[in-house]
Amino acid sequence: MKSELLSEKNKKKEIHRRQFIIDKLKEWRNKSWKELLGGILLYVLLIIFAFYHSNWNLQKTLTFIDKATANIVVSAILSIVWGVFTIFVLKSLYDKYRNHSNIEHFKKGLDIPEHLKSL
């Protein structure tokens, strides 16, 4: 009777422990999505700035963008920002969804609270 009760408690703890791991995994993955959304927002803001600077005229905006990208400093900065964004953010998303050894390592590194550990 006592072993059955202990077994039942451990099953419940296992269910709660799995849910804890799933929740932590979601939090871990959401950080990369926030970084991606931040990068996209920055890109959209740059486009809005170009339109605003050109009085919302498409032809003037395209001319403004051509002049801005003709400047080597602006081109270099945009290239570096795009490269960093691509390398870190997209790689991070890939690793958190497709790299199974990375996911398993994250799960193993979690500190499971005492109340979720087996008896």
pLDDT values of the chain reduced to their tens digit, one per residue, 119 residues = 778 888 888 899 999 999 999 999 999 999 999 999 998 998 899 899 999 999 999 999 999 888 888 889 988 998 998 898 889 999 999 999 999 999 999 999 999 998 888 87
pLDDT at 81: 87
Using CA atoms of 21, 27, 32, 37 in order, give the dihedral in degrees to the nearest 10.
150
pLDDT at 3: 82
pLDDT at 44: 94
Q: Residue 81: exposed, middle, or buried by beta-carbon count in 10 A (0-12, 13-18, 19+)?
A: middle
pLDDT at 102: 93
Entry pTM:
0.74
CB 113 within 8 A of CB 13: no
Report residue 84 as tokens. 């960093």
DSSP annotation of 54 = T
CB 19 within 8 A of CB 110: no
pLDDT at 118: 80
